[in-house]
Structure 1
Amino acid sequence: MSTPMTRRSLKERADAEGAPAMATLPPTARRRGIGRMLGDALLWVAALGGVVCIVLVILAVTAQITLIMFSTGSMSPTIPAGSVAVVQRVPASDVRIGDVVTVDREGELPITHRITSIADGDAPEQRVITMRGDANASDDPFPYSVTTVRIVLFSVPGIATVIAGMGNPLVLGGLTAAATTLVVWAFWPRSPRRREAGVT
């Protein structure tokens, strides 16, 4: 009468024969191993996303670096609609003709265009600038009197919709629930029998 084979005996036999232990495990155990690896990968992705968010907050506070989204194509083809740009607030005295900057307008949305001319303002730190979108045939109707602007460092096309969608309460709720489930699953205690059998 043959002795029943347990997972441990299968693993020991595989180690003795030099074969991979995973190949000798039953399909259920292999599926658990793959699920564990997938869960670990998702945890790393979530951790990386958290690090990116922390870095963005630190940059926003310490270096005045933020993100802006482009809903129109006035800066196409340089920055097409649907792009996200990384911008940094700088003194108006630091900008030059040809820079792409965002100007805040009281009671209106900010505007991001390319500087076409710069003149001194009433105060030493003030500048009067004219701007034009790369897709426009003429300058903006009025010049802008500014002491600071947000200069575009670089842009990434096509991700504005994704970032805007992250602000949807349903999306945020779903991501929070998914992250909670993943963390609970990853740190849920395993039974001693399963750990001894090499199944995670």
Structure 2
Amino acid sequence: MTLTRVLRTLGGAALWVAASVGVLSGGLWAATQVGLVKPLIVISGSMEPQIMTGDLLIATRAAPADLAVGDVATMVSPQTGVLVTHRIVSIEVEGEAWEIVMRGDANDDDDPVPYVGEGPVWTPQVQVPELGRWVMSLGTPGVVIPGLAGVAALVVLALLRDPRRPAVSGDDARAGDRPTVAEPATGAGER
């Protein structure tokens, strides 16, 4: 196997992996845009050891009436306005009104202010260790620029021509790549 063929095979395989990741990312983006899921990157250790800093969580919407004490939920903090993922300590739901008290597993005290009937409630369904840290680094120039160069290299590798296969000329392409049929050689004087 020639080096060109190995490089072409590796480039093609890497390109398929990159395309698959792209399709999955696009699907997650679309599901996020229509409100089906919310990807969350854990930035503090308040839920360790169950949920670690740098983990990626995929959460879905939940009705407050469907939550129970002990569930992990994500809500907008009334104090800071940022999303907080903690365990529910107490919950009171009356019709459309609700009040939820939460606490991080690694914290000694409940969150200072209860979460009261505002904004969506999310519950983590999928947890991918360390992927959040990787996703956060994707937006930095030190990763984007080499990443784009790598994708360009993969495309070039995938397009390398196998030297054992003849190139197709313009005439061959117009002829529909039909094989040429040659007449057998005949002896002199035959008609």
Same fold (TM over 0.5): yes
How many residue pairs are counted as aligned between the two chains? 165
Equivalent residue letter for 1:142: V
Equivalent residue letter for 2:66: D
Q: Residue 166 of structure 2 aligns with which residue?
A: 196
Measured after TM superposition, the shift of residue 146 of structure 1 is 2.6
Q: Residue 110 of structure 2 aligns with which residue?
A: 139
Query: Given that residues 75 and 134 in structure 1 are in contact (C-alpha distance below 8 angstroms), is that contact kept between their aligned partners in structure 2?
Result: yes
CA distance in 2, matches of 1:145, 1:128: 4
Equivalent residue letter for 1:144: Y
Given the superposition, is the C-alpha separation of residues 173 and 126 from structure 1 closer, same or farther in structure 2, using an over 3 Å criterion?
A: farther
Query: Given that residues 92 and 126 in structure 1 are in contact (C-alpha distance below 8 angstroms), is that contact kept between their aligned partners in structure 2?
Result: no
User: Is 1:109 paired with 2:82?
Assistant: yes
CA distance in 2, matches of 1:139, 1:94: 21
CA distance in 2, matches of 1:89, 1:176: 35
> Which is worse superposed, 139-148 or 68-77?
139-148
Q: How does 1:1-200 map to 2 (within 5 A)?
A: 22=1, 30-62=2-34, 64-105=36-77, 107-120=80-93, 124-147=95-118, 148-187=120-159, 190=161, 194-196=164-166
CA distance in 1, matches of 2:38, 2:26: 13
Secondary structure of the corresponding residue to residue 71 of structure 1: coil
CA distance in 2, matches of 1:141, 1:63: 28
TM-score by length of 2: 0.76
RCO comparison, higher one (Cα < 8 Å, 6+): 2
Secondary structure of the corresponding residue to residue 44 of structure 2: coil
Measured after TM superposition, the shift of residue 85 of structure 1 is 1.0
Moved beyond 6 Å, runs of 4+: none
Alpha-carbon displacement from aligned partner over 1:150-190 (angstroms, at most 9, x marks no partner)? 111131222222111011133223222321332244236x4
Secondary structure of the corresponding residue to residue 80 of structure 1: coil
Query: Given that residues 42 and 52 in structure 2 are in contact (C-alpha distance below 8 angstroms), is that contact kept between their aligned partners in structure 1?
Result: yes
Query: Given that residues 131 and 143 in structure 1 are in contact (C-alpha distance below 8 angstroms), is that contact kept between their aligned partners in structure 2?
Result: yes
Superposed CA RMSD:
2.3
CA distance in 2, matches of 1:65, 1:120: 23
Query: Given that residues 128 and 144 in structure 1 are in contact (C-alpha distance below 8 angstroms), is that contact kept between their aligned partners in structure 2?
Result: yes
Higher helix share: 1
CA distance in 2, matches of 1:42, 1:134: 40
Query: Given that residues 32 and 39 in structure 2 are in contact (C-alpha distance below 8 angstroms), is that contact kept between their aligned partners in structure 1?
Result: no
Equivalent residue letter for 1:117: S
